């Protein structure tokens, strides 16, 4: 395969990129922005060679321990469990949370062959034993798989942690009940909180 | 070009597909197991309805192996946890592994839907799963006759003991000694009458169905068993 065809094929590993899109990207990189192409190649190569998982929270990092775990200004009483590094980015960008994290890299899914072992829940138990947080926040997605995973972990660590909490789900900010689906309304009613 | 409207459907599995779509594996009343894609599903109201264990009326069109989902109506979601979730995943796993695509299995569909609804209502897993396993085996053509000795043709007697061989059925066992894999006729007759009231009958049914399913499941272990809550799975007789 010639190098151009090779590049077009390689670009198609990206989500949402088909043959046409890969062709356009190839022409953009080779005809209009060779410097950008070199920077992209270098960045990709370095990232693939150097980035692994943090030994403590399993997020992506080029160090043995990630910046978030090294930051001793964070609150050691809080540990938040998420499905993917993208969830950490979302929570950090939103602000308001200053504890530590643990990334599962997925959720329990028997049909995909993902069980407790694949999510490395033994590492999570070690993390909980070392950090001894007052509260573990289960911030897996509000899908059936995310709920199953949260409940499984809640059972697993419930004996060791005083508070195991689940993030709230329900009416989004700015949302009007009239336009919200039934499942969300049921959850919102179940998760209601006291105002007095 | 196939076009199906408002077909009763049970969502078996979803996974992200391309940029913003979901690939859905589903069991339907009249069309059997179908794979379909729902575009613009992730983060949308329609996509949120495509949760595993949801019962709904689905419309789709397409040709070839993968259909394109259009409308989703009358959605009834089941948010199950703990043992009930493990049991529902067990049902889904059995369907995905044993039911072939595009083969209508309306009784298996009805039993799976009813079982998941019962689990959602908090029914004990063992009394939900045993009737489902019975229906599944019967409808797949691996039915077991719980009322007849497969070798002599005589009726099962409630005060006798019987051995079981999945490919043959039950045979009167006269040997004395450790009844490791022998079952009392009374329990077999209870199963034949779908009477799962006794815990011992449910345990016998669990063992027999497990042995009957094993040859069809092959060597890969059932992953849904791993989902039993860690505390509940220890020393439990009634695992899915």
Does residue A88 share a domain with residue A159? yes
Q: Mean pLDDT throughout A177-183?
A: 82
Q: How many CA atoms lie within 13 A of A161 on its CB side?
A: 29
Residue A24 lies in a domain: yes
* Helices of type H across B10-105: 45-48, 82-98
In chain A, what residues touch B20 (CB-CB under 8 Å)? 16
- Rounded CA-CA distance A47/B101 in Å is 41
Contacts of A82 (CB under 8 A, 6+ apart): A88, A91, A101, A102, A103, A104, A139, A140
- Domain borders along chain B are 2-76, 80-240
Residue A55 lies in a domain: no
Which of A110, A113, A144 is the closest to B79 by Cβ? A144
Does residue A130 share a domain with residue A33? no
In chain B, what residues touch A155 (CB-CB under 8 Å)? 82, 229-232
The distance of A155 to chain B (nearest Cα, Å) reads 6
Which of A16, A143, A144 is the closest to B19 by Cβ? A16
Q: What is the CATH number of domain B80-240?
A: 1.20.1440.120
Provide the percentage of residues in chain B whose pLDDT is more than 70: 92
Does residue A43 share a domain with residue A64? no
pLDDT at A5 over 80: yes
Residue A9 lies in a domain: yes
Q: What is the pLDDT of residue B236?
A: 43
Q: What is the pLDDT of residue B235?
A: 40
- Rounded CA-CA distance A60/A86 in Å is 10
Superfamily, domain B2-76: Nucleic acid-binding proteins (2.40.50.140)
Provide the percentage of residues in chain A whose pLDDT is more than 70: 100
Does residue A37 share a domain with residue A9? yes
Q: B237 falls in which pLDDT band (50, 70, 90)?
A: very low
Q: What is the CATH number of the domain that holds A28?
A: 1.10.8.420
pLDDT at A163 over 70: yes
pTM of the predicted structure, to 2 decimals: 0.86
- Rounded CA-CA distance B238/B128 in Å is 11
Q: Mean pLDDT throughout B119-143?
A: 94
Domain that holds residue A29: 3-50
Q: Mean pLDDT throughout B141-170?
A: 92
Going B82 to A87 to A184 to B27, the CA torsion angle's sign is negative
Contact B137, B31 (CB under 8 A): no
Does residue A128 share a domain with residue A92? yes
Does residue A68 share a domain with residue A46? no
Torsion (CA) B18, B22, B26, B31 in degrees, nearest 10: -70
- Number of structural domains, chain A? 2
Q: What is the pLDDT of residue B20?
A: 83
Residue A151 lies in a domain: yes
Length, in residues, of chain B? 240
In chain B, what residues touch A145 (CB-CB under 8 Å)? 52
Q: What is the pLDDT of residue B230?
A: 62
pLDDT per residue as tens digits for the range A104-160: 999 999 999 999 999 999 999 999 999 999 999 999 998 899 999 999 999 999 999
pLDDT at A184 over 50: yes
Q: What is the CATH number of the domain that holds A117?
A: 3.40.1360.10
pLDDT per residue as tens digits for the range B31-74: 999 999 998 887 777 777 899 999 999 999 999 899 999 999 98
Contact B238, B206 (CB under 8 A): yes
- Rounded CA-CA distance B107/B136 in Å is 8
Does residue A72 share a domain with residue A35? no
Q: A15 falls in which pLDDT band (50, 70, 90)?
A: confident
Residue A33 lies in a domain: yes
The CA angle B13-B15-B20, to the nearest 5 degrees, is 135
Q: Mean pLDDT throughout B153-162?
A: 92
- Rounded CA-CA distance B2/A121 in Å is 44
pLDDT per residue as tens digits for the range B89-99: 999 999 999 99
Contact B50, B120 (CB under 8 A): no
In chain B, what residues touch A116 (CB-CB under 8 Å)? 226
pLDDT at B204 over 80: yes
Does residue A71 share a domain with residue A31? no
In this structure, of A63-67, A148-152, A170-174, the range with the lowest mean pLDDT score is: A170-174
The answer to whether the Cβ–Cβ distance between A184 and B48 falls below 8 Å is yes
Q: What is the pLDDT of residue B239?
A: 42
pLDDT per residue as tens digits for the range A91-103: 999 998 999 999 9
Does residue A154 share a domain with residue A76? yes
Does residue A129 share a domain with residue A42? no
In this prediction the ipTM stands at 0.82
Contact B75, B7 (CB under 8 A): no
């Amino acid at each position: 395969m010639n190098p151009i065809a090779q590049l077009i094929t390689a670009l198609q590993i990206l989500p949402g990129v088909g043959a046409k899109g890969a062709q356009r990207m190839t022409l953009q990189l080779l005809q209009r922005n060779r410097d950008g192409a070199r920077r992209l190649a270098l960045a990709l190569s370095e990232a693939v060679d150097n980035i692994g998982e943090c030994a403590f929270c399993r997020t992506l990092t080029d160090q043995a321990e990630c910046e978030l775990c090294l930051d001793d200004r964070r609150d050691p009483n809080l540990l938040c469990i998420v499905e993917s590094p993208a969830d950490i980015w979302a929570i950090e960008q939103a602000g308001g949370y200053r504890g530590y994290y643990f990334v599962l890299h997925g959720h329990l899914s028997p049909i995909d062959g993902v069980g407790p072992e694949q999510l490395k829940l033994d590492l999570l138990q070690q993390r909980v034993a070392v950090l001894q947080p007052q509260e573990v926040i289960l911030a897996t997605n509000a899908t059936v798989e995310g709920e199953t995973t949260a409940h499984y972990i809640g059972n697993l660590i419930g004996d060791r942690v005083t508070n195991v909490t689940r993030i709230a789900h329900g009416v989004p900010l700015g949302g009007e009940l009239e336009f919200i689906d039934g499942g969300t309304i049921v959850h919102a009613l179940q998760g209601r909180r006291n105002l007095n | 070009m196939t076009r199906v409207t408002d077909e009763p459907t049970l969502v078996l599995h979803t996974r992200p597909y391309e940029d913003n779509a979901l690939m859905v594996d589903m069991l339907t009343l009249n069309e059997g197991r179908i794979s379909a894609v729902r575009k613009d599903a992730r983060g949308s109201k329609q996509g949120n309805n495509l949760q595993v264990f949801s019962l709904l009326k689905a419309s789709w069109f397409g040709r070839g192996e993968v259909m394109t989902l259009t409308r989703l109506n009358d959605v009834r979601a089941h948010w199950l946890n703990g043992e009930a979730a493990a049991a529902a995943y067990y049902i889904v796993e059995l369907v995905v592994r044993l039911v072939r695509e595009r083969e209508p299995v309306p009784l298996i569909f009805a039993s799976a839907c009813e079982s998941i609804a019962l689990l959602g209502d908090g029914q004990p897993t063992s009394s939900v799963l045993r009737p489902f396993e019975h229906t599944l085996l019967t409808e797949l053509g691996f039915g077991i006759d719980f009322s007849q000795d497969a070798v002599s043709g005589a009726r099962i007697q409630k005060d006798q003991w019987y051995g079981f061989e999945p490919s043959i059925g039950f045979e009167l066992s006269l040997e004395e000694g450790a009844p490791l894999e022998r079952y009392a006729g009374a329990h077999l007759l209870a199963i034949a009458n779908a009477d799962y009231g006794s815990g011992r009958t449910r345990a016998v049914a669990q063992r027999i169905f497990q042995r009957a399913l094993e040859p069809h499941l092959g060597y890969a272990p059932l992953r849904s068993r791993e989902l039993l809550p860690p505390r509940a799975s220890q020393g439990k007789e009634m695992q899915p």
